[in-house]
Amino acid sequence: MPRKIVVLDSHQFDDNRISKHIRSISGSYNVLRVNYNFYRDREPVNGSPERAIAINLTPTGKPYLNGLLFTLGSIIGSRVRELEGVLKKRSISLEDDVIFHVHDPYLLGLAKNIGKRFPRSRIVYDRHEYYETWKGKLGFSIPSYLEKRYGAKVAEIVFVSNHHPPLPGPLAEKRVTVIPNYPESKHFLEDTVKEKIGTFRSGDAVAVYFGVLNLGFDRDVELMFEVMSLAMDSNPGLRFEMAGRIYDEGIRKMITQMTERFGPRMNYLGEISYQEVAKRTMAAHLGFFLLRTDSPMWSEERPVSPNKIYEFLLSGTVPVVRATLDDAEAVEKCSLHFGKGSTAKDMAKAMTEMINDQDRMRRTMTLCRETGERFNWEKVASLYDDCYARLFESMH
């Protein structure tokens, strides 16, 4: 009897970690992805190689409310019956050995309830974030509440950082497999990176930011714009490229102001594919990862393991960082790393000194690439197979 994996998530359809996960296990298991979409303006990516079903759940224009309505449907059973029908059509029967691999806390209730109908099933929870820090205006974390409510039914946890804190509620007792969010090396070609390094000329540089654009979460987007304004004023050869979904109109105003001030040296690309992100990251010289110091994500005790840092390294792109990182000792040797008290002027000055010292810049980009080769997806992907082997064995 084939062993089957059902991946449940509500991420963007082309989410990089989930795509890597599915590609890594598809050769060994019968895999089906069921993706729930709570955003009216988010469309599935055509031609995705993953065997997947996308279900749009957008009764309102508010993704947060759509997620709560989905959770209610999971509790009363309508979403469970819907999923059971989907699985039946894809030849996944109640007698099969099934692992439900959950990538979002909002889907834990659905996984628990569908699991009741599959007597030989287990739940794996892929925890991407420190959800206990995701608190609303009233100081309450719905994701953390869902973890506590449904965590008892989770068999194993996958987490992205070696430095995970004690997990909330019943999750604290679960086995944890650490699978960092390293990039696939096939996207970051050594020859392309070496050519960029070899042709770098003093003062002629591109800085990039590819990610979510909002003012209320963990990334310090305002500081990044301030740093780039100062640095571009001082360096006529410095350019800035950015891409990502805009969640705050205030950011759109900042982009407009930068464009009016610097013309084509400021380039907002909208939302772009991961392949385009990889291509432009390889062509860049500096890459931003700045956390807000007043964000719940800022912590000296809770290092973060952002995929962007490792993408920068494999690309030979010097990270500009203000955060507490996993692998900090290795990363800090080839990055511009700033502490909590650093100012925009400090950062702009350090960037200016770096890009105008051709030999230093080339040495640092080379060290980035060498360091990045230690942190690639191929080194950790097999840990999913190890986790699944234990759980399938436990079913009999």
Owning domain of residue 129: 4-179+380-394
Same-domain check for residues 307 and 350: yes
Same-domain check for residues 170 and 190: no
Structure tokens at 181: 């969010």
Please give the chain's pLDDT, 396 residues, in tens.
678 999 999 988 888 899 999 999 998 999 999 999 988 877 655 545 447 888 988 889 888 889 889 989 999 999 999 999 999 999 999 999 999 999 999 999 999 999 999 999 999 999 887 656 656 655 667 777 888 899 999 999 999 887 776 777 888 889 999 999 999 999 999 999 999 999 999 999 999 999 989 887 789 999 999 999 999 999 999 999 999 988 888 999 999 999 999 999 999 999 898 899 999 999 999 999 999 888 766 777 777 888 999 999 999 999 999 998 888 899 999 999 999 999 999 999 999 999 999 999 999 999 999 999 999 999 999 999 999 999 999 998
| Half-sphere exposure (Cβ direction) of 30: Cα atoms closer than 13 Å | 12
For every residue of 126-156, DSSP letters joined together read EE-S-GGG---TTS--HHHHHHHHHGGG--E
Contact 110, 8 (CB under 8 A): yes
Same-domain check for residues 204 and 331: yes
Same-domain check for residues 73 and 104: yes
Same-domain check for residues 270 and 138: no
Q: Any idea what the CATH number is for the domain that residue 27 is in?
A: 3.40.50.2000
Same-domain check for residues 329 and 242: yes
Number of domains present in the structure of the chain: 2
C-alpha distances in Å from residue 177, one per residue of 140, 164, 209, 271? 27, 11, 30, 32
Give the separation between CA 281 and CA 377, rounded to whole angstroms: 17
Measured over the CA atoms of residue 371, residue 373, residue 374 and residue 375, the dihedral's sign is: positive
Same-domain check for residues 390 and 359: no
Same-domain check for residues 133 and 226: no
Same-domain check for residues 240 and 168: no
Task: Give the predicted TM-score (pTM) of the model.
Answer: 0.88
Same-domain check for residues 353 and 385: no
Same-domain check for residues 30 and 164: yes
Same-domain check for residues 40 and 100: yes
